[in-house]
Structures are given as C-alpha cells and as structure tokens.
Amino acid sequence: MRGNDNGGRLGEEFFTPGTSSFTEFLAAHRPELLSTRRILPDGVRAAPDRVPHGTTVLALAYRDGVLIAGDRRATMGNLIAQRDLEKVHPADDHTAVAFAGTVGLALDMVKLYQVELAHFEKIEGTAMTLDAKARRLAGMLRQNLGQAMQGLAVVPLLTGYDATAPEGERGRIFSFDVAGGLYEKRDFHAEGSGSPYARGALKKLFHRGMDRREAALAALQALYDAADDDSATGGPDINRRIFPIVSVITEDGFERLPEPETEELSREMVEQRRGRPDGPNATP
C-alpha cells in the first residue's frame, strides 16, 4: 500500500504512531481495501444460489492439543460449486481458523486475519494471547455485519494451543455468531449446515484423553455423518481421492495431517461403515 502522490514512496501514514491493528489501519487510510466494506446497495440481498457457500467444519480437544477439520464441498443452491475447497487454515504458529458461509468473503477474512496477527506481533514484539486473538476475530465479524444481513455471512471456528492454560486444557475452541458474538466451547464443536449431525456424532464418540489417531477418526466419522444427512456436506471422495482436511495444533505448533495419512484413515473409516452404516457405538 503506497501513497498516491509520493512517487512510489511510502505515505506519511506509515510513519505516524498509531494502532497495532492492521485492520484499523486500513479502515483509517484505505477502507476500500477492506473486504468487510458493504458491497451491495441498501435493501439488496445476495441470491443464495448464486454465491458459493462452505459447509461443515468441526474441532475437538484431544490429549496433545486440539484438532480442527472440514469437508471439501462448496455449494450454490442445489449445485456443487467446488469439490476440493480448503476450509481449514493456519492463522499463526499455534492458532487455526476454519469457516462456513460465503466462500469469497471467508477466504478474504482469513487472509486479513493472518496479516492482523502477524502485524500485531511485529509492532508489539510479542504474540497476542489466545483470548485476544478470539476477540480480534469477533471484531472483524462485527465489521462484516452489514453484509451478513444481506445474506453474505461468514461463520468461523477458531482453535488454538494455549500454553498458559492448565495441563489437559490447552487445546481451546471458540465459536462465533454473524454479529461477532464470541463463545468458548468445551471439548468439541461444529459449524455449518451439517453441524447438527457432526455434533451428534462427536457427542457419541468423544472422550477425554484421545490420542491423535482416535481424534482424527472421530472427526472423520462426524463429517461422514454430516454428509450422510446434509446434501451440502461432502464425504470422502474415494474415486477422485479428495478427503477432508484434518489439522492439529500442539505445543509444537500447527500441523496439517499429510494427505496419505488422511487418505488411510478415511479409507479405514469407510470400510468400517460397510459393516456398520450408522457408525460406531458410543464410547464406553
């Protein structure tokens, strides 16, 4: 972002002391660059079958931290708009965000949020606390409220590893509403059109102290149940080799499970469903 009349040199605003928030900096000096600005005239709503929407994402705490996962489908009304959408993204080394809702705005918001966290750390010389990261994302959602009321809503799911939390509670999960309401969830949560079915599966399968493999299989089972009952959620596509995205955040940082590992677990889960189509019983 350069000054308009300075021969390509940085504008005066870059040398003026101000906020450590990149979003507030843009709002003050170049608001037209913010994706959260209103893009539709007052009284106009987006047609739901003309804008791609992402669907089901979920998170669950496990022994070493927190796992976050999402299916790959985006829909436009009754059409499949994309089969391999990536809905889970690292926000920084120990935080990840996934989204349901309007795909274009969600991807822009994720990129802006990543810059926001990096900008704060460079200006302040330290990373935000996890609670502050959650509040900052809630503030960005409030800025998008006008578009949400016009049918262009984004619903993120935030997870992080909090080294300051008590042992066994360091994997934390935050959900939001379209108005920026912030809610911390315990153990597990899901968002998107298939979330009622995914939460039902996680309620059945979750237990404290799960290892990474158990947590990943529980997440895949939950996404499979969501796809089974929600047409907007995509299950594992064996023929195209398109599988859900599964990532974990631990003391060592963010890690996306390698594609071969996700494929192996997905195939194992699908094979289990051949003998038990409704999925495994609740964990004792």
> Rounded to whole angstroms, how far apart are CA atoms 75 and 31?
30
Contact criterion met (CB below 8 Å) for 2 and 9: yes
Contact criterion met (CB below 8 Å) for 205 and 283: yes
- The terminus-to-terminus CA distance of the chain in angstroms comes to 57
Cα dist. 14→7, 18, 19, 121, 227 in Å? 15, 9, 11, 17, 48
**Residue 90 φ then ψ, to 5°:** -70, 140
Output DSSP code: residue 15. G
Q: Which residues are catalytic?
A: 55
Contact criterion met (CB below 8 Å) for 91 and 113: yes
> Rounded to whole angstroms, how far apart are CA atoms 214 and 216?
6
> Rounded to whole angstroms, how far apart are CA atoms 34 and 41?
17
Token pair listed for 213: 């493999």
Cα dist. 127→47, 94, 124, 141, 184 in Å? 40, 10, 8, 21, 20
> Which residues have C-beta within 8 Å of that of residue 284, sequence separation ≥ 6?
none
CA angle 242, 102, 142 (to 5 degrees): 135
